[in-house]
Structure 1
Amino acid sequence: MASGVATVWLPVKDMKRAVDFYGGTLGLEVKRDSDEWSELDANGLMIGLNARESSGADGSGGALLTFQPDGGLDEEVSRLKDAGVSFVGDISDHPWGRIASFKDSEGNDLQLYEPPSE
């Protein structure tokens, strides 16, 4: 039986660039940093960056991480755009919330999620 998610790992081609993106641009706490494996704390969820298996680090599939911004979605999209992040399309509105899709420094798919307002 699975009791929860222990780790989400993403393949990366350039570890320094990936750590700069996740630690610097997104603001996650870097717990471990090496040329082959780095770990970041995303509010208790460990994200592992794996340079040993970089073949999937080209945006052609793999894990998708969704982050919920501390503030509003529009403000976080604006902040990330100012930091050089490229978004895929516009913010999309759904009955279950709003999402904004973007790529990390390695071409992996990421999203920001905002639940519906009550």
Structure 2
Amino acid sequence: MDFEIKINSLYICVKDMERAITFYENLFSQQVDEKSDVFSVFDLQGFRFCLFNNNEVGEKVTYGDNCLPSFEVNNMDKLISKLKELDAQLVFPLTKIKDNWVLEFRDSEDNDIEVYCKI
């Protein structure tokens, strides 16, 4: 059986939807596209980055490692400045890996997020 798989979204679990929306609106410099107490969505150039408040539906999760999104940016210095403004903790320092600069930060909901920039 042949079929196609296309990855066009992911979600991370959040403890406080409003706090998470505020964090990501500031990080992405855009407003949330769909907002609810349970599931909110940012459209990032056709990719859906979603926030899921698992407590609203009684689902238990382990925060921080339920998903490791990886974002590409075109300017690591500007991203680092933004992360400082947001008081986001770096959990993996800026490191050169092959042809990329890579770092990981912890968001407002204790999830780790990877970011890379091509050299």
- Number of equivalent positions: 114
In structure 1, list runs of 5 or more residues that go unmatched: none
Deviating beyond 3 angstroms after TM superposition, the runs of 4 or more aligned structure 1 residues are none
Match among 54, 66, 72 for residue 68 of structure 1: 72
Q: CA RMSD in A?
A: 1.9
Correspondence for 1:82: 85
Q: Deviations over 1:38-97 (max 9, x none)?
A: 1111221001111135633521x2211111224x21221122212311111420111131
Correspondence for 1:106: 109
Instruction: Report the Cα offset of residue 23 of structure 1.
Output: 1.4
**TM-score of the superposition, structure 1-length normalised?**
0.83
Counterparts of 1:33 and 1:92, CA distance in 2: 35
In structure 2, list runs of 5 or more residues that go unmatched: none
**TM-score of the superposition, structure 2-length normalised?**
0.83
Percent of aligned positions that are identical: 26
